Amino acid sequence: MNLSLNFRTHLWTNAFRPFFLGASLHAVGSILIWILILFSFVKPPSFIGLVSFHSYEMVFGFARAAILGFLFTAAQNWTKSVLIRERSLLLLFFLWVLGRFYWIEVPLISYFSFLSDFFCDLMALYLLAPKLIQKGQEHNRVIVVCYTLFGLAHGITILSILEVIPSALTLHWIHISIFSVLIFIILIAGRILPFFTSVAVAGSNPRRIQKIETWSHYGSFLFVGIESLLFWFPTFRTGAGLFAFTFAALQIYRWHLWEPWKSHKTPILRILHLSYFWLILGIVFYGFSHLGLFPVSAAFHILTVGAIGGFIYGMITRVSLGHTGRQIVASKTISFGYWMIILSFVVRVLFPIFGFAAIGYGISGILWILSFALVIFEYWNILLGPRIDSQR
């Protein structure tokens, strides 16, 4: 009885708790299923392409859970108000969970799951937008724009999977959704990494130049806009590649201003800086892929496993400590997990390039699973239990 009460009291008090736990469990389960499908132990869904199925789950399952957990937690601090808690949080999380069953090949179940998955986005916007567009929150309105773009790409992806619009568009719009996730990272990293560095590293002096921040924000939206049109205007790929190089150059200068090298002795901060570097590297190689000089799959996995996976891993491990009143220091177990997720990214990108694709998929997947299994092991009680101070 007490366990049930504690579960209800603590898990649903803040969005990072269920969604970070859900993202971690999903990271383990979805990649395990992906490996079993790749090595023919499990039959894949027949109505959606294999790559689309995997990509959809990693974007709208794993990444979105982490985004929702962070946004509602951060927005509560930004607005000094409670946006979601208990029943509303349980409902939002339940919609996300229901959205993970669309692969069941029973039309009624599949359609209901897709509808739940999309309603998760609508509910998130319904709860976030009013608070973030009000007076005094002008600098946070871009978050609403970002999530609207993400939700729109999600809706179009679902319509494509269901063949309401051409199914050939499915993977394209999943890719646009990946770029939308990168916008979140670009926006959030610019706010937190200079601050985290200044707090955690004595003698550091990270800088934020507002003009660079503004160009980064507009540039990220322009990047997504250009990529959205390439499905219909493939002749513009060379120009898109050149824009990617330009945007990456801006980001490397921005990242340099944050003094990332000073985080080398602080693993919980270093993983975030490294992940942002993978984002920059991914944009560069994605630009090369437009010029036919680099495999597009490898470029995407620099962005997904390296940048998105690494950044989410770092944020889960940091935010969960800070928002439960604990010291923000990575344990030896989690520090080991950081190296495993970096190795997962390196193996997934390099092995296929050198002709060892199947081995690379397997090793990378196992490393990914182990890294998030460590998060579940280390953070289970943290996410389900009370704060260690007197705050809620």
CA proximity to 375, closest of 323, 325, 330: 330
- Other CB atoms within a 10 A radius of the CB of residue 69 amount to 27
At residue 336, the pLDDT reads 98
Distance CA 318, CA 73 (A): 13
* pLDDT < 70: residue spans in the chain: 1-9, 390-392
* pLDDT 10s digits, 335-384: 999 999 999 999 999 999 999 999 999 999 999 999 999 999 999 999 99
Distance CA 264, CA 313 (A): 17
pTM of the model: 0.95
User: What is the Cα–Cα distance from 110 to 160, expressed in whole angstroms?
Assistant: 14
Angle between helices 170-200 and 210-229 (to 10 degrees): 170
Q: In the prediction, which pLDDT does 198 show? A: 95
Rounded to whole angstroms, the Cα distance separating 212 from 178 reads 23
What is residue 6's predicted lDDT score, i.e. its pLDDT? 47
Dump pLDDT digits (tens) for 255-278.
999 999 999 999 999 999 999 999
pLDDT at 391 (0 to 100): 60
pLDDT tens sequence across 140-174: 999 999 999 999 999 999 999 999 999 999 999 99
pLDDT at 366: 97
